[in-house]
Copies of this chain bind each other. A is one copy, B any other.
Amino acid sequence: MIKQIILDHGSGGKASHDLIKEAFLPFFDNPLLAEMNDSAVFEVGGKRLAFTTDSYTVNPIIFPGGDIGSLAIHGTVNDLAMCGARPLYLSVGFIIEEGLSLEILEIIISSMKKAIAEAEVLIITGDTKVVPKEQVDKIFINTAGIGIVETNCNISGKNAKVGDLIVINGTIGDHGMAILCQREGINFETPIKSDTAPLNKLVEKILKKTNDIHAMRDPTRGGVATSLNEIAQQSKVGIEIWEEALPFSESVLGAAEILGIDPLYLANEGKFLAFIKRDEVDKVLNVMYSHPYGKEATIIGEVKPEPKGKVWLKSKIGGKHLLDMLIGEPLPRIC
């Protein structure tokens, strides 16, 4: 029984799932919400639309590779793309602390402008609240997004199939480690940059070539380990990941060793996991290699019939260990 909200409840990991199941679903239950995908998909006028929202509270608000503005666009665009939707329109809600300089606000807004141009979406509605000093930390941004599902794929966290291969489009843990290093004042010769990026154009290219993507998820809060667990549970399958196949940059691995952090639990903001029918993987990889955000795409594992709902990591020397969801919150305000 939850008594009060703790940081873990915002981790995106196990505690977040518990909070949703204990406190939210009993009140708001409906079939669309219960799907628990990155976006909810509904029909209007014979078209399938996707709808999603995220609030962004990242600290620091400007970090190597991006800022809270670009993150707020990419995050919501990516949540739409993960359902196979082409993002169309975004809303933006700013909550700003009294005293924020316009200079900082303009850095954030101009970075949002670049992000919407790249993703080819429009911000069509917005809201700005200003709250007195010390009642919010600098700036929080909410974005909600609407996209249109034009693919014939039925992409959902519950549709991963035994035999699917699992592909990720590049290195793991960059965003989380970039934030962590900046927050802790850890400096490398080349600073670790967030991977924050819009994935929708890459996903659209893939979906033009194949109808055999079964599930996709962007491993943000809770990292790759948590997203894989969600899909294993939603699809009632086992997942096996191969340690030697996991792509990490050397700097992320180095920092992870120094800090004693498992990068499989670090947030990514420009990566996605795709569960692909085995025969179609080469075709998908070829599309990915030709796109800036997919150049380093690689197969990291496969879907097994058992043990259902569990994720196993097969180590380099052949052992296997269970990879759980994120349990605690190592890093509040990561996104």
- By a beta-carbon cutoff of 8 Å, the part of chain A in contact with chain B is 2-11, 16, 19-20, 23-24, 27-28, 30, 32-33, 39-40, 42, 44-47, 49, 51-57, 59, 88-89, 91-102, 105-106, 109-110, 112-113, 116, 122-132, 134-137, 140, 142, 144, 146, 148, 329, 332-333
Contact = CB atoms under 8 A, between A and B. Distances in A.
Number of copies: 2
Given A4-B102, A102-B5, A137-B131, A44 B49 contact: yes
Contact of A113 (B27, B127, B129): B27
B136 A134 contact: no
A6 B101 CA distance: 9
Q: Give 4 closest A-B pairs by Cβ, nearest first.
A: A10-B130, A45-B45, A144-B144, A53-B91
A30 B125 CA distance: 10
B5 A130 contact: yes
Given A4-B99, A5-B102, A5-B105, 18 more contacts: A3-B102, A6-B98, A7-B130, A10-B131, A19-B128, A30-B123, A42-B89, A44-B44, A51-B91, A51-B146, A53-B125, A53-B126, A54-B93, A57-B95, A93-B142, A131-B333, A135-B333, A136-B140
Contact of A116 (B3, B28, B136): B28
Nearest to A134: B134
Contacts of A127: 53-55
A105 B28 CA distance: 14
A334 to B, nearest CB: 10
A147 B245 CA distance: 46
A122 B32 contact: yes
B33 A125 contact: yes
A124 B6 contact: no
Contact of A40 (B89, B110, B148): B89
A164 to B, nearest CB: 25
A273 to B, nearest CB: 19
**Which one of A99, A113, A134, A140 has the highest number of Cβ atoms from chain B below 10 Å of its Cβ?**
A140
A227 B221 CA distance: 40
B42 A44 contact: no
